[in-house]
Amino acid sequence: ELGLATLAQARGIVFGTTLTRGQVEESGEMRRIAAADAAMIVPGLELKWAGHRPSPEGFDFQDADFMLRFAEERGQAVRGHALVWHEALPPWFARAPRDAAGMRALLERHIRTVAGRYAGRMQSWDVVNEPVEPWDRRADGLRDTPFLRALGPGYIDLAFHLAREADPAARLVLNEYGLELATPEQEARRVAVLALLRGMVRRGVPVQALGIQAHLGAAARGFEPSVLRDFIRAVAGLGLEVYVTELDVTDRGLPPDVAARDAAVARSYRAFLDAALAEPALRLVTLWGISDRYTWMNDSRFARREDGLPVRAHPYDDSFGRKPAWYAIAEAF
Ligand code: XIL
């Protein structure tokens, strides 16, 4: 039977999943399904600041190197996630300089060192993750982060220019969540993301793709295929590619019955992928988890179930059996 990446490839889509060193070392089953289904690996923790900057002076690339070697030995491509993000920062970041010159030096050193180290080996980099937050009530819709406070909105352009200098080959991606539903909240986020991207393209900033995280909810209302497709087309109209970077579907809000949850989760994968894949700008799909055994969602107050049952969000269950979600993704391709 063909794996998901092979099916995706037949449609011209690169397919993969996030994975961590801990999972690889702990579970032969994870190694097996990652090899069977993924043509691309996204290190889940190892390329975040908290994953390789134990001190302001020091970098520790052991875990990130491990993940790149793991993928490359299997002929899998790698995406880097993420050069700039307001989360997963190490504890020392709270005491780092907040003045413009100090923050600029910190970002320069970070991006030059990290993107430079892996130059030529990354298919793409999430250069800035989650830069938009309409509820922070700025006119430009940008998220109020330490980077923005120190450097102003220009920190985003700066990060992309630094990434391009350090790695001339990687596709450079702006990655964002909450873009797929036809709700007023998500419409506001789409508007802000489009305005940001339009400005970047106009200024000649080297951005090549928008990453749509796509953390979906099987009980969430407001998915309208035409809204997602129109948005993807608008991004494509700026000359950019579109990636689905962190696809998963929480079953939060659904009653406990397992068969019904699995069916609803599978339907959500299918409906989302059918809409996204109909747009030629869509080039890549990576999951944010492939087995329920290793899911970030039980630790997220937005994604975990309120009844305390573990989520069934991914294509394989917690003993690595294929669920309806696996078949839904296969059929979508
Ligand atoms: C998650 C990881 O999977 C967890 O292990 C970690 O504890 C928190 O972060 N959006 C992102 C990802 O861009 O980096 C997040 O990953 C999930 C939400």
Q: With both helix axes pointing from N to C terminus, report the angle between 258-277 and 324-332 in degrees, rounded to the nearest 10.
A: 20
Active site residue 246: yes
Q: How far is CA 179 from the centre of its chain?
A: 12
Q: Ligand 1 within 6 A of 246 CB?
A: yes
pLDDT the model gives residue 314:
98
Residue of 288, 290, 295, 299 to mutate, ligand 1, most atoms within 8 A of C-beta: 288
Q: What is the pLDDT of residue 313?
A: 98
What is the chain's Cα-based Rg?
19
Ligand 1 atom 17, closest CA: 296
Q: Number of folded domains in the chain?
A: 1
Please tell me the predicted confidence (pLDDT) of residue 228. Answer: 98
Block mean pLDDT (10 aa), the chain, length 333: 94 98 98 98 98 95 98 98 98 97 98 98 99 96 98 98 98 98 98 98 98 98 98 98 99 98 98 98 98 98 98 98 98 98
CA of 282 to the centre of ligand 1 (A): 22
Instruction: Give distance in angstroms: CA of 326 to centre of ligand 1.
Output: 21
Strand, coil or helix: 14: strand
Are 22 and 66 in contact by the 8 Å Cβ rule? The answer is no
**pLDDT of the residue at 127:** 99
Q: What is the CATH number of the domain that holds 154?
A: 3.20.20.80
CA of 106 to the centre of ligand 1 (A): 23
Residue 243 confidence (pLDDT)? 99
Q: Which atom of ligand 1 is nearest to the CA of 126?
A: 13
pLDDT of residue 170: 98
**Residue count (the chain):** 333
Choose the catalytic residue: 187, 224, 246, 306: 246
User: Whole domain around residue 205: which residue ranges?
Assistant: 4-332
Q: Are 128 and 153 in contact (CB under 8 A)?
A: no
